[in-house]
């Protein structure tokens, strides 16, 4: 725990500059904890105010060159405060709670935005960030553009999904060889699968569960959905299909594997409309081959 003296010494002070004879607030020093929030900040044109990001902030590539404060769930107050932020924006995944209390003691404004698995949440976060960053007009323009893109993608889904049975999809999250989880209801993967006109092969199973041969075979997916990072960790698509039970599923036998970048697929950020269109195209494609989106 930081001492009161340490906290106060690290607490940011918003300086005043004299511009044209009047006082103006100095540019903010913002830390973004959440890849989708970082993407929105870039879309709003406020990237110059970013002084740090978390480990999920991999897009755009410029974000990876900023100081990294670590994984959202395992933050450290010292690392955050060393960047002298005037504001921290984060999703509900941020933690641990003790670190958040330390930030509060240091009087750093911390704004936790809801991390909902629905498109309406993207619009809400866009407008909220616009208010926090003093860019409400830019945020409204971005919100309107994203809404138009989402409407177009949903119309595309309706066309692609018409006239055939909704495919059964199993989302596999693999971070290391022989360690994989599959996504049930109330997850970002489940939401995107539903938006794309498909069916989660795990049915009403809630949250994530460890992949087992029994679970994979019982799910009987037509398509296996995975992330780029997960496939790389598994040693490629062939390696992924060696995970427990996947080769025995209809998707595994037909090598129907769709691969997408993690935050584009699951982040519910500004790339969500394009990700939905890409996902729908892959899921409803007639060709039974492995695809990388």
Q: How far is CA 26 from the centre of its chain?
A: 30
Tokens 């060709």 label which residue? 287
Report the interhelical angle of 272-283 vs 188-195 (nearest 10°).
70
- Which is more confident, 27 or 292? 27
Q: Per-residue pLDDT for 75 more than 90? A: yes
Tell me how far apart the terminal alpha carbons of the chain are, to the nearest angstrom: 45
Distance CA 269, CA 56 (A): 12
Over the chain, what is the mean pLDDT? 89
| pLDDT score, position 16 | 34
With a CB cutoff of 8 Å and minimum separation 6, the contacts of 2 are 10, 77, 78, 81, 102, 105, 106
In whole angstroms, how far apart are CA 269 and each of 1, 130, 242, 265?
34, 14, 32, 9
Q: How far is CA 80 from the centre of its chain?
A: 21
Q: How do residues 215-253 score in pLDDT, each as one tens digit?
A: 999 999 999 999 999 999 888 999 999 999 999 999 999
CA angle at 135 for the pair 134 and 138, rounded to the nearest 5°: 175
| pLDDT score, position 211 | 94
The beta strands (E) that lie in 159-241 are given as 168-176, 179-183, 199-200, 208-210, 223-227
In whole angstroms, how far apart are CA 151 and each of 137, 147, 274, 275?
21, 6, 11, 13
Determine contact, residues 139/131, Cβ cutoff 8 Å. Answer: yes
Q: Per-residue pLDDT for 210 more than 60? A: yes
Distance CA 207, CA 200 (A): 12
Give 88's strand partners: 31, 110
Distance CA 268, CA 40 (A): 10
Q: Per-residue pLDDT for 21 more than 80? A: no
State if pTM tops 0.75: yes
Phi first, then psi: what are they for 284, rounded to 5°?
-100, 5
| pLDDT score, position 285 | 82
Listed range (20-24, 50-54, 170-174) with the worst mean pLDDT: 20-24
Average pLDDT on 249-261 reads 96
**Nearest residue to 140 (alpha-carbon basis) of 248, 263, 44, 258:** 44
- What percentage of the chain exceeds 70 in pLDDT? 87
| pLDDT score, position 27 | 77
Give 67's strand partners: none
Q: Which domains does the chain have, with CATH numbers?
A: 4-115 (3.40.50.1980), 165-292 (3.40.50.1980)
Q: How do residues 151-198 score in pLDDT, each as one tens digit?
A: 999 999 999 999 999 999 999 998 765 579 999 999 999 999 999 999
Q: Per-residue pLDDT for 213 more than 90? A: yes
Q: Per-residue pLDDT for 20 more than 90? A: no
Q: Per-residue pLDDT for 12 more than 90? A: no
Q: How do residues 102-134 score in pLDDT, each as one tens digit?
A: 998 999 999 999 888 999 999 999 999 999 999
Q: Which two tokens stand for residue 144?
A: 């309107």
Q: Per-residue pLDDT for 9 more than 50? A: no
């Amino acid at each position: 725990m930081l001492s009161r003296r340490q906290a106060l010494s690290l607490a940011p002070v918003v300086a005043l500059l004299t511009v044209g004879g009047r006082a103006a607030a100095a540019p903010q020093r913002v830390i973004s904890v959440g890849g989708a929030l970082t993407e929105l900040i870039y879309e709003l044109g406020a990237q110059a105010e970013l002084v740090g990001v978390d480990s999920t902030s991999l897009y755009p590539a410029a974000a990876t060159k900023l100081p990294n404060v670590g994984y959202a769930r395992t933050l450290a107050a010292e690392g955050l405060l060393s960047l002298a932020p005037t504001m921290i924006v984060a999703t509900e995944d941020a933690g641990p709670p003790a670190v958040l209390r330390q930030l509060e003691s240091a009087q750093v404004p911390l704004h936790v935005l809801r991390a909902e698995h629905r498109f309406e949440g993207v619009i809400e976060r866009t407008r909220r960030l616009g208010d926090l960053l003093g860019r409400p007009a830019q945020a409204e323009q971005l919100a309107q553009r994203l809404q138009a893109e989402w409407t177009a993608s949903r119309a595309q889904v309706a066309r692609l999904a018409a006239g055939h049975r909704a495919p059964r999809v199993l989302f596999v999250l693999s971070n290391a060889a022989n360690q994989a989880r599959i996504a049930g209801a109330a997850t970002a993967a489940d939401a995107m699968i539903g938006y794309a006109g498909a069916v989660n092969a795990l049915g009403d199973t809630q949250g994530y569960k460890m992949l087992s041969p029994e679970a994979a075979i019982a799910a009987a997916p037509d398509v296996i959905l995975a992330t780029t990072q997960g496939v790389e960790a598994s040693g490629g698509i062939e390696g992924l299909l060696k995970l427990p039970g996947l080769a025995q599923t209809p998707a595994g036998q037909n090598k129907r594997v769709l691969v997408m970048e993690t935050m584009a697929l699951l982040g519910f950020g500004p790339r969500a409309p394009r990700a939905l269109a890409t996902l729908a195209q892959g899921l409803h494609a007639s060709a039974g081959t492995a695809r990388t989106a």
